[in-house]
């Protein structure tokens, strides 16, 4: 196989930060090549350099043995480099056809030659086993279908090298499998694909070779058949993954959270939660699996009082809290790690120490009469920073200056250290590197063993499987099934996540 | 640590650069009307300091600007745009005059305190109503406060025309408030009254409230990130209403210092634009109480200097309004550019290493 892309000692600096330093990447024709690394390892920067969005400070790119000098993404597209972003770049109110031809110049002139274009596009789609209906509005398609539109769009523009940024983050296991089938057909046909990911399983399953980045440098390029997940994890984080310590014996206690036929209606009257009944006991983790956007956020927000239930009851420790405000529920000792740390979990312009007292700012000992007691607040911050190993320039650094993983640690530290009765964790490790993920998982297990009832809501099946004692699956606002950890079966859960029971 | 200082310095350097650049641009205007800019600016800047009275005028002028500037700052720091400092000041003035007229015979301490309290309450109400509308119905506080400026303005016109018109009934103005309600002067033979001291003390109080108390923490949290504040159990509505009331109260105090300290009666069109000068001072002072005090003094200096410039070289005093407007535009532009400047400076550091 000959080489289609060579990136030679690429360096890219942002201020003093080296996002990429001396990075070499070689992709062969017809190869699925994984670019593996934690968040902030420099994957996106490298790909943005390749796609013409950033100019490298050093280094050269050779594509099909020609030296490239990309000035914009248009240059890249013209050469046959396609990129599919995590967030799709589609116009929801346009049809699939319109989205695919958009910006190609084919929509110019008086009449769009629809029939001819449709035929060409359908042929491409069929060739790689993708079914799309060209006349549907993109807004009505599922996420998996939208992704297919993006792929077809790239192929129709003559992409020879396709960059996919975390393509499986938004897919069900079945959709993921379909995607991988498509990718394999494409590779057999001579296309090259760069798969950006941090999921080791996917790398091993679908990729031929893998390049691992850590702190902006390449730590290893290796054939997947010569390596394994554990070894890749080591290249990625620079040390061994630690297995979570679990106490052998701990006891499941009283029910803490009891939800009885809970429903919630959105602003337009659509049912975002439909007749949900759940119980979480002290000392256990109930995992809620499901594809993003099936009512997970609403479930968490209704429980904590940020949204109002339209019917049903929520009992906390036997007390009815359905009508209580968030203020009251926070005071009752409910810890809540929200889905969106930027929007909900943190005040980004506040310092780390200020964020750590976000829910207790008015309480003693942080307050002396009318004023803050900064000695106590600072000491609390220092304790938390060392106990939860939060990497920060200092307690006075603004939260927005921290990396995603460390921001999340601030949230986790604040919510867990008070030993809540009930801990609601929504996507607790989204956008967080492996090291921090490991740490947060450990903390959740610890909270459980200390007697907290934990409601874990996550779209990552592996996380659900790893932490939960019981698993429920949510689909379109309803619980489609519940099972014990011992009955965990990825296939079955995957089907349930897509609505089958 | 040294690196840190440079970026802190940038915060101060931008307003200073804006002032100089605005003066530079203003000099082009002066050249158009055939005036030597250097001479004009000599009057503008040093004309004030020729005698004690004029020098004191700087602080007289800056007193209400400090207070309306603090009003804007307080709202701004809690995520609100209070453009109604002017109207809230008028409301405070109305209350101060009313109290001064009715209780002028009491002891100075008593009547002055009552005037101050009256002005605070009236200003707070004038801020509270837009705050309430924003908190409960989500109506834009910007629009409502602007409209409330006019309500207050025309209310004064009505009051001085009809119900509170002076007893001889000649001018549209009220009678003088009782002598005991006059604010004491701090420098003899000038108009500099104790209001300036009050304004500076209030700026310290504002700083303490916002940054040293749980109460201010909550208001700022709501300002920075309402969703995050709501998540942690704070009431956004309550915070908005309280912030606007406090902001209004601060501007109301400006009405008190203007009435009890300078005019000693209510008249149409008194202290016009002071509310908006306050916004300018707040922006120039990076919405920081100390910055507000310094920039208010600067604006006071420009405004008093403009008169001596008019006398000296015959330049219309209005040119200062143009310069003031340019300062604001340049400060805002500078703040937009600041992230880029910081990035550029960081990149340079890399090269030096």
CA distances from A178 to A235, B68, B218 (A): 29, 64, 49
The minimal CB distance from B225 to the residues A347, A359, A367 is found for A347
The Cα of B13 is separated from the nearest Cα of chain A by a number of Å equal to: 21
φ, ψ of residue A61 to 5 degrees: the values are: -120, 130
Contact residues on chain A for B343, CB-CB shorter than 8 A: 14-15
| Chain A touched by B350 (CB under 8 Å) | yes
Q: Please calculate the CA angle B34-B36-B40 and round it to the nearest 5 degrees.
A: 115
| Cβ burial, residue A447 (10 Å; 0-12/13-18/19+) | buried
Question: What would the pLDDT profile of B301-326 be if each residue is shown by its tens digit?
Answer: 999 998 888 888 888 888 888 988 99
How high is the pLDDT of residue B352?
Answer: 35
Instruction: Name the residue among B199, B182, B180, B153 with its Cα closest to residue B265.
Output: B182
Contact residues on chain A for B346, CB-CB shorter than 8 A: 15-16
How high is the pLDDT of residue A106?
Answer: 62
Exposure of B98 in the CB half-sphere (CA atoms within 13 A): 14
- The structural architecture, per CATH, of the domain A3-237 is 3-Layer(aba) Sandwich (3.40)
- In this structure, of A51-60, B174-183, B206-215, the range with the lowest mean pLDDT score is A51-60
Residue A336 and residue B273: Cα distance in Å, rounded? 48
**Residue A54 in contact with residue A12, Cβ under 8 Å?**
yes
CB contact under 8 A, A327 and B235: yes
How high is the pLDDT of residue A158?
Answer: 87
Mutate to test the interface with A, among B229, B232, B235 (most CBs of A within 10 A): B232
Name the one residue in this structure whose structure tokens are 């109604």. Answer: B84
How high is the pLDDT of residue B5?
Answer: 60
The DSSP element (H or E) to which A462 belongs, if any, is: helix A461-467
- Please tell me if the domain spanning A3-237 has the same topology as the one spanning A255-346+418-497: yes
Q: Are strands A271-281 and A422-426 parallel, antiparallel or unpaired?
A: unpaired
Q: How many domains does chain B have?
A: 1
User: Of chain B residues 287-346, which have a CB less than 8 A from chain A?
Assistant: 343, 346
Mutate to test the interface with B, among A11, A15, A324, A342 (most CBs of B within 10 A): A15
Helix, coil or strand: residue A484: strand
| Chain B touched by A347 (CB under 8 Å) | yes
CA closest to A356 among chain B residues: B232
| Chain B touched by A13 (CB under 8 Å) | yes
Q: Which residues lie below 8 Å from residue A107, measured CB to CB, with a gap of 6+? A: A98, A101
CB contact under 8 A, A16 and B353: yes
Residue B112 and residue B177: Cα distance in Å, rounded? 11
Q: ipTM of the assembly? A: 0.84
User: What are the strands of the beta sheet with A334-337, ordered from one edge?
Assistant: A334-337, A422-426, A453-458, A285-289, A470-475, A478-484
List of long-range contacts for B102-105, beta carbons under 8 Å, 24+ apart: B103/B178, B103/B181, B104/B177, B104/B178, B104/B179, B104/B180, B104/B181, B105/B178, B105/B180
CB contact under 8 A, B225 and A371: no
CB contact under 8 A, B225 and A327: no
Contact residues on chain B for A345, CB-CB shorter than 8 A: 228, 231
CA closest to B347 among chain A residues: A15
The partner residues of B173 in beta bridges, in order of sequence, read B267
CB contact under 8 A, B225 and A338: no
Eight-state DSSP code of residue A325: -
| Chain B touched by A346 (CB under 8 Å) | yes
CA distances from A303 to A113, A313, A424, B278 (A): 53, 10, 9, 45
**Residue B141 in contact with residue B135, Cβ under 8 Å?**
no
Going by pLDDT thresholds of 50, 70 and 90, the confidence category of residue B350 is very low
Residue B256 and residue A336: Cα distance in Å, rounded? 47
Residue B179 and residue A146: Cα distance in Å, rounded? 78
Q: Which residues lie below 8 Å from residue A405, measured CB to CB, with a gap of 6+? A: A39, A432, A433, A435, A436, A437
Q: How far is CA A500 from the centre of its chain?
A: 24
CA closest to B209 among chain A residues: A371
List of long-range contacts for A374-382, beta carbons under 8 Å, 24+ apart: A377/A353, A378/A353, A380/A353, A380/A356, A381/A352, A381/A353, A381/A356
CB contact under 8 A, A343 and B235: no
Going by pLDDT thresholds of 50, 70 and 90, the confidence category of residue B348 is low
pLDDT tens sequence for chain A (501 residues): 588 999 999 998 876 677 888 999 999 999 999 998 877 788 888 998 998 888 888 899 999 888 888 888 888 888 999 998 877 888 889 999 888 888 776 656 667 777 888 888 888 888 888 888 888 898 888 888 888 899 999 888 888 999 998 888 778 788 888 899 999 999 998 999 999 987 888 889 899 999 999 888 999 999 999 998 888 888 888 877 677 777 766 678 899 999 999 999 987 778 889 999 999 999 999 999 988 888 999 999 999 999 999 999 999 999 999 999 998 999 898 999 998 888 999 999 999 999 999 999 998 889 988 899 999 999 999 999 999 988 888 899 899 888 788 899 999 999 999 899 999 999 998 878 778 888 999 999 999 999 999 999 998 888 998 899 999 999 989 999 999 888 888 888 888 888 776
Does the pLDDT of residue B1 top 70, yes or no? no
Q: Domain A255-346+418-497 is in which class?
A: alpha beta
The Cα of A410 is separated from the nearest Cα of chain B by a number of Å equal to: 14
**Residue A465 in contact with residue A69, Cβ under 8 Å?**
no
Residue A348 and residue A344: Cα distance in Å, rounded? 10
Structure token pair of residue B44: 């503008």
Residue A500 and residue B193: Cα distance in Å, rounded? 79
How high is the pLDDT of residue A17?
Answer: 72
| Chain A touched by B221 (CB under 8 Å) | yes
CB contact under 8 A, A358 and B228: yes
**Residue A251 in contact with residue A434, Cβ under 8 Å?**
no
CA closest to B225 among chain A residues: A347
The Cα of B68 is separated from the nearest Cα of chain A by a number of Å equal to: 25
Contact residues on chain A for B79, CB-CB shorter than 8 A: none
| Chain B touched by A361 (CB under 8 Å) | yes
Structure token pair of residue A6: 């060579």
Q: Are strands A470-475 and A285-289 parallel, antiparallel or unpaired?
A: parallel
Eight-state DSSP code of residue A483: E
CB contact under 8 A, B231 and A371: no
CA closest to B1 among chain A residues: A393
The minimal CB distance from A372 to the residues B212, B347, B353 is found for B212
Residue A130 and residue A127: Cα distance in Å, rounded? 8
Residue A329 and residue A320: Cα distance in Å, rounded? 11
Mutate to test the interface with A, among B77, B208, B215, B217 (most CBs of A within 10 A): B217
CA closest to B340 among chain A residues: A15
How high is the pLDDT of residue A257?
Answer: 95
φ, ψ of residue B177 to 5 degrees: the values are: -70, 165
**Nearest-10 crossing angle of helices B236-256, B214-224:** 110
**Residue A232 in contact with residue A223, Cβ under 8 Å?**
no
Q: What is the CATH number of the domain that holds B248?
A: 1.10.3470
Name the one residue in this structure whose structure tokens are 């004023």. Answer: A371
| Cβ burial, residue A158 (10 Å; 0-12/13-18/19+) | exposed
Range of the domain at B218: 63-317
**Per-residue b or e along B225-240, where b marks 16 or more CB atoms closer than 10 Å to that residue's CB:** bbbbbbbbbbbeeebb
Going by pLDDT thresholds of 50, 70 and 90, the confidence category of residue B353 is very low
Going by pLDDT thresholds of 50, 70 and 90, the confidence category of residue B2 is very low
Does the pLDDT of residue B297 top 60, yes or no? yes
Instruction: Name the residue among A374, A409, A381 with its Cα closest to residue A397.
Output: A381
**pLDDT, greater one: B240 or A405:** B240
**Per-residue b or e along B331-349, where b marks 16 or more CB atoms closer than 10 Å to that residue's CB:** beebeeeeeeeeeeebeee
CB contact under 8 A, A371 and B353: no
The Cα of B214 is separated from the nearest Cα of chain A by a number of Å equal to: 5
Q: How far is CA A422 from the centre of its chain?
A: 24
Contact residues on chain B for A371, CB-CB shorter than 8 A: 208, 212-213
Question: What would the pLDDT profile of B80-103 be if each residue is shown by its tens digit?
Answer: 999 999 999 999 999 999 999 999
| Chain A touched by B210 (CB under 8 Å) | no
Residue A78 and residue A66: Cα distance in Å, rounded? 14
Query: Does a structural domain hold residue B191?
Result: yes
Q: Provide the strand spans (E) within A116-224.
A: 161-165, 192-197, 209-214, 217-223
φ, ψ of residue A473 to 5 degrees: the values are: -115, 130
The partner residues of A163 in beta bridges, in order of sequence, read A83, A194
Instruction: Name the residue among A210, A205, A163, A296 with its Cα closest to residue A37.
Output: A210
Instruction: Name the residue among A184, A179, A127 with its Cα closest to residue A155.
Output: A127
How high is the pLDDT of residue B329?
Answer: 92
For chain B, what percent of residues have pLDDT higher than 90?
Answer: 69
Q: Provide the strand spans (E) within A215-309.
A: 217-223, 255-265, 271-281, 285-289
How high is the pLDDT of residue A172?
Answer: 79
- Total beta-carbon pairs less than 8 A apart between chain A and chain B: 72
CB contact under 8 A, B233 and A326: yes
Structure token pair of residue A219: 């730590």
Q: Are strands A17-28 and A255-265 parallel, antiparallel or unpaired?
A: unpaired
CB contact under 8 A, B349 and A15: yes
Going by pLDDT thresholds of 50, 70 and 90, the confidence category of residue B169 is confident
Taken in order A480, A483, A487, A490, the sign of the CA dihedral is positive
Structure token pair of residue A257: 């959270």
Per-domain residue ranges of chain A: 3-237, 255-346+418-497
Query: Does a structural domain hold residue B122?
Result: yes
Residue A372 and residue B2: Cα distance in Å, rounded? 29
Task: Please give the torsion angle defined by the CA atoms of residues B342, B347, B348 and B352, in that order, rounded to the nearest 10 degrees.
Answer: 140
| Cβ burial, residue A424 (10 Å; 0-12/13-18/19+) | buried
Q: Which residues lie below 8 Å from residue A270, measured CB to CB, with a gap of 6+? A: none
Contact residues on chain B for A327, CB-CB shorter than 8 A: 233-235
Q: Provide the strand spans (E) within A317-461.
A: 319-320, 334-337, 367-368, 371-372, 422-426, 453-458
């Amino acid at each position: 196989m000959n080489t289609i892309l060579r990136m030679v000692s690429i360096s890219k600096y942002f201020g003093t930060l080296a996002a990429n330093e001396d990075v070499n990447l070689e992709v062969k024709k017809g190869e699925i090549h994984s670019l593996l690394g934690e968040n902030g390892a420099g994957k996106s920067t490298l790909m943005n350099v390749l796609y013409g969005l950033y100019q490298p400070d050093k280094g050269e790119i050779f594509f099909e043995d020609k030296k490239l000098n990309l000035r914009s993404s248009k240059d890249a597209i013209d050469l046959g480099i396609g990129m599919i972003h995590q967030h799709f770049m589609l116009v929801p109110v346009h049809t699939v056809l319109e989205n695919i031809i958009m910006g190609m110049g084919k929509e110019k002139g008086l009449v769009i030659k629809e029939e001819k274009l449709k035929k060409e596009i359908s042929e491409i789609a069929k060739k790689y086993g993708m079914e799309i209906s060209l006349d549907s509005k993109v807004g009505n398609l599922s996420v998996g279908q939208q992704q297919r539109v993006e792929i077809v769009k790239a192929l129709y523009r003559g992409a020879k090298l396709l960059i996919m940024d975390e393509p499986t983050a938004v897919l069900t296991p079945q959709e993921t499998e379909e995607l991988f089938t498509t990718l394999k057909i494409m590779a057999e046909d001579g296309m090259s694909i760069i798969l950006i990911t941090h999921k080791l399983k996917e790398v091993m399953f679908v990729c031929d070779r893998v390049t691992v980045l850590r702190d902006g440098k390449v730590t290893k390029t290796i054939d997947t058949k010569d390596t394994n997940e554990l070894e890749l994890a080591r290249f990625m984080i620079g040390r061994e993954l630690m297995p979570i310590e679990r106490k052998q014996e701990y006891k499941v206690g009283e029910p803490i959270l009891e939800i009885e036929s809970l429903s919630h209606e959105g602003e337009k009257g659509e049912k975002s939660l439909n007749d949900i009944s759940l119980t979480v006991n002290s000392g256990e983790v109930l995992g809620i699996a499901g594809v993003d956007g099936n009512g997970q956020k609403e479930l968490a927000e209704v429980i904590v009082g940020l949204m109002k239930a339209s019917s049903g009851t929520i009992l906390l420790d036997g007390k009815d809290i359905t009508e209580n405000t968030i203020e009251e529920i926070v005071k009752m000792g409910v810890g809540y790690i929200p889905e969106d740390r930027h929007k909900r979990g943190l005040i980004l312009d506040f310092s780390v120490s200020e964020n750590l007292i976000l829910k207790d700012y008015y309480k003693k000992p942080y307050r002396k009469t009318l004023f803050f007691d900064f000695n106590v607040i600072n000491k609390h911050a220092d304790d938390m920073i060392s106990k939860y190993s939060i990497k920060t320039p200092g307690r006075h650094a603004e939260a927005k200056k921290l990396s995603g993983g460390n921001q999340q640690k601030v949230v986790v530290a604040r919510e867990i250290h008070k030993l809540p009765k009930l801990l609601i964790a929504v996507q607790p490790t989204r956008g967080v590197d492996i090291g921090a993920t490991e740490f947060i998982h450990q903390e959740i297990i610890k909270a459980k063993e200390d007697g907290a009832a934990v409601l874990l809501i996550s779209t990552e099946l592996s996380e659900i499987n790893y932490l939960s004692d019981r698993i429920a699956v949510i689909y379109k606002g309803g619980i489609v099934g519940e099972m014990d950890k011992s009955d965990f079966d990825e296939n079955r859960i995957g089907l349930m996540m897509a609505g089958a029971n | 640590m040294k690196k840190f200082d440079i970026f802190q310095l940038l915060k101060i350097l931008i307003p200073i650069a804006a002032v100089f650049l605005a003066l530079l641009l203003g000099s082009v205007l002066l050249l158009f009307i055939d005036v030597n800019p250097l001479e004009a600016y000599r009057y503008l800047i040093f004309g004030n300091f020729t005698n004690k009275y004029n020098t004191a005028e700087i602080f007289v002028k800056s007193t209400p600007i400090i207070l309306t500037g603090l009003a804007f700052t307080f709202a701004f720091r809690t995520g609100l745009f209070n453009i109604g400092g002017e109207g809230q000041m008028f409301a405070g003035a109305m209350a101060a005059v009313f109290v001064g007229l009715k209780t002028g015979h009491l002891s100075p301490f008593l009547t002055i305190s009552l005037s101050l309290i009256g002005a605070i309450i009236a200003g707070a109400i004038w801020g509270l109503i837009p705050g309430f509308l924003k908190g409960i119905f989500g109506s834009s506080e910007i629009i409502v406060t602007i409209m409330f400026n006019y309500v207050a303005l025309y209310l004064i016109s009505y009051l001085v025309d009809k119900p509170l018109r002076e007893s001889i009934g000649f001018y549209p103005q009220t009678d003088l408030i009782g002598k005991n309600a006059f604010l004491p002067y701090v420098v003899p033979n000038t108009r500099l009254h104790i209001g300036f001291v009050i304004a500076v003390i209030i700026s310290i109080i504002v700083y303490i409230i916002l940054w040293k108390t749980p109460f201010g923490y909550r208001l700022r949290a709501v300002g920075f990130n309402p969703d995050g504040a709501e998540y942690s159990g704070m009431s956004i509505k309550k915070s908005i209403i309280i912030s606007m009331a406090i902001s209004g109260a601060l501007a109301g105090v400006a009405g008190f210092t203007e009435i009890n300290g300078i005019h000693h009666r209510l008249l149409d069109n008194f202290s016009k634009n002071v509310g908006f000068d306050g916004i300018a001072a707040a922006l120039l002072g990076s919405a920081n109480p100390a910055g507000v005090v310094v920039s208010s003094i600067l604006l006071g200096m420009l405004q008093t200097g403009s008169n001596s410039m008019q006398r000296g070289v015959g330049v219309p005093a209005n040119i200062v309004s143009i310069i003031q407007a340019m300062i604001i535009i340049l400060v805002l532009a500078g703040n937009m550019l600041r992230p880029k400047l910081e990035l550029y400076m960081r990149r340079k550091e890399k090269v030096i290493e």
